Structure formats: C-alpha cells, structure tokens
Chains A and B, each alone.
Chain A
Amino acid sequence: MGIIRKALSSRPVASLTSPHTIDHYLDQIHPMLAAENVRARVVEVIQETGDASTVILRPNGAWKGFTPGQHVQFGVEVNGTRRIRCFSVSSSKAAKKDTFSVSVKAHPDGYVSQFLHNELQPRTIVYLSQAEGEFVLPRVVPDNLLLISGGSGITPVMSMIRTLRDSGHRGNVTFLHYARSNEDEMFTSDLDELAEQANVTVQRIYTRKPEPGVELKGRFHVDHLKHLGIDPTETLTYVCGPAGLIATVRDTYTELGAADQLRLEYFKVPSVDLDAADATGTLTFDDAKIEADNSGATILEQAEAAGLKPEFGCRMGVCNTCVVKKNHGAVRHVISNEISANTDETIKICVHVPVGDVNVAL
C-alpha cells in the first residue's frame, strides 16, 4: 500500500489531475480512501467522567502515526459544517497499531467537545490532521522523568506514560497529577494499575476534595517535589495543564536553576481581561480593508466579530493553523503575557491581543 500511496501522491499524477489532487477523486469513491487526507472512523466513545470522554479511532492509511504528547486537529461535520478543534492523543504508541485514541474534557461552551461527549456515534467518519506538536518525549528517555499534569492536561501525559509502560521502560517515572476531585479524574483505573509498577510513582492530588490520609495538599508547590524526593535540576520534566499551574512550575524551576529541564504545553487559553489597559487603539485588517476599535479580545475573535473568517484550529496557540502576518503594531500573548512589537512577524491570532494600534494581513 505504501508504494501505491507514494505513486498516487507523486508529481506526475498531480499533473494529470491538476488543478485538483488525487484525493478529490478518491474521495468520491469512499471518504476513507485517500492518499493524503487523514480520515478516521470512530470505533468507540468511552465516557471517562461526567464531562470527559475518550474516542477510539481507526485512521485510514494516510495517517503517519504520532509521537506521545502530540495532538491532532479533529473535525466533525454537523449540519453541513465541519467544526475543528485540537485534541491530544491519549493512547499508547506501543500498543495497538491500527487504532489510537484522543481524550477530551467537554468545555461548557466548546461545541466540538460537547458534541464528542454527548452525540458522537461509532462508525462516524471524522476529519483529522497528521499528529502535530513539539511536546514529546526524547528518543532516548532519561532515567529520571517527572510528568506533571493538571485537569484535562493529563491526556498527552497519559499517552507518554502508557507508551513507556508498554515499551518496557525501566527508568524512574514520577507522575504528579492535580485534579479538582476524584470524580473529575480521568483514567482512574489506568492510574491505579500504573501505580503498582515498581519504577512508577503516581501521586494524585485533589485540590478541592483532598483524600483523607494524603499528605500533599493544594496546588503545586516546591514542597511537593521535595516530598517526592525529586531533584528538578536532574529530572527531565513535562508539564501540561492550565496556565496557572504552568506558571507556578516554571517559576519554581527558574528559581532552582532547572529551567532547561522543563517542557511545557498549555492546555486552555486563560480568559482575556476585557478591561485591561491595552484595549485601546484600532485594529486594522489590511487585506479586507476593515478597521475596528480594539475591544481587547484576541485578534481572532475580533476578526470574527468584524465578519472575517480566518482559518483556525485549536484556538489555544498550539496548532499553528491561524498564523498570519502582523504588518505592524504591538501584541500581547494572552498566556505568557509577553509583548512583541516587531514589524512583519507572523503571529498566532488566537492567543494574541492587540496593544494599541495593530495592522494584520487578514
């Protein structure tokens, strides 16, 4: 199949089907049949908690596989409209070869995640991208590894730890997970099982409803590391979760001089403060010749409010679908709060708010 796929995606074939691609034709025979378009059939939807679910997918041959920690753009079609969001892969790379899964916590106003949790049926065909993202384990995993996650940020980390388990990794792995309560925790039985392995330490901390008898309490603190006997300067650390958790971990590691051991992935865009002082000036959409008063929302939201339809994927600064050229002006990253004012730079408009007058090529 590999040779056929290669031949179908080759330039001679493309020049015969130009201006369309071979997938435009294959799609007419069957939507799963494609040289490059990644599609998958839903095998099963498992409800993990009251608002989180895991979707097991069987991808078509165009899928090139994933590295634990990566995410995919996941599109479902509802009433003729394809809706796309980024979801993390949660399954083990070393287990089944022909399926993988994504896990999602349904946001109250997240259309796709709600649909996934409540309505997605087995056998539905979904539209995917190839796996993307830099938040991945190194090829050679060091002997000491710390994985920290908060809330639904557990999904990419879960994929990592499951893969390590299934590939027979012998090094020490510590998994520190923060959830609001036991009911809010995904993958509970898997975590219980992992905890029984000799080289794995699983520490769960419930911030709202602490379990009786657990010594560690509350949000992330440097004492939690000390209690687990971890030396941050010598432990490769992955952290994924809400911005608050990441900021605390990053500050702690910077203070301890261990910032180079840290790998981060944000998992929810903090809501933007609309009354912030930088909600001034005019946002100009240069290509469309539209100007709007800066409302303080992200450039993506302001573009949509102005009637434009920029492309977007994850809406949380991960997938790089929404990047556009900023002609001039200063923008603030809503997660890191960094301000950049370079002219002619490309920015992800889903996580940047304008500071004063900004002109973008939209």
Chain B
Amino acid sequence: MGRIAALTRNPAMIALVAALAITGCASKKTPNSAADLGLNGAGAATPGSAQDFTVNIGDRIFFDTDSSSIRADAQTTLARQAQWLNQYRQYAIVIEGHADERGTREYNLALGARRAAATRDFLVSKGVSASRLKTISYGKERPVAVCDDISCWSQNRRAVTTLSGAGS
C-alpha cells in the first residue's frame, strides 16, 4: 500500500519507473535509489525512517538540461521533503548534485554544485535549518542510469537528499 501511495504522490517517480520499464536501463542498486525501492515494493517503511523518506516522500528531484532551476514538480517534492525534515529533526542532510554525461567533466562538477545549492536554498526557504544541510557535487561521476538516451540523461540530472546522523 505504501508503495502505491508513494507512486501516486510522486509523479517523478512514476515517470522514472515508466522510463525504466521502457528502456530497460540498469539502475543503481543502493537503498537511496527510489526506483529500486519502488520497484521492489519495499514501501512498508517506519514513519520517520530513512526508508520512509526515500520511498514515501521521494529523495530526489530532476532538472532540465544544463539548468539548476527547481521545476514545479520538484518544488512539490521539496516542499514534502521540507515538511518531513522539519518533523524529523534528528537527521543531518547531505544534498548530492548530479549532471548527465552531456557536458564536460569540470563544467558538470560546477553544474552539479549549482543544483545542490539550489535544492538546499529551496529547503531552507521552507524552514529547514541551514546548519543541517551540506552539499556535494558528483558532476557526471555517479550516473544512476547508464544507458545513452534521453530517459537516462533525465534521470541523471538530479539532486538527491540523503540523510545521515540519524539515531534510528
């Protein structure tokens, strides 16, 4: 049930799942991958857990090509993230900024950093304490989807909100 709820509340995740189904892209097998968790049906998460955040809230937002503007769909996700983060204040937060492969390495490091900063600033504007937030850019070094087409690139242009320092 939790999984269905997550999908209906997170259009980006639906798009992600659909893209995976169509293209057969491999995706990163880590717990912070919303796609994996969604597909595996691991939605019955304890409220306030990292899994709850990843699956039910949505840990990532996506960007347009060469842009760090927070899109409307991403604003919805981040508002939900902020509400959750303000409720569960035990977590420190690292925002990872990523770029797709259609840019040169150094420029994409800068672009990923800009995306992470834009994401951080949005969360701060929604009341999340800046002291809890750190950013890191991975440029194009850690793609989540590894095929060479548009659906993969769009999944790689992302900012992922990761939780650390949790008591649980």
Do A and B come from the same complex?
A: no
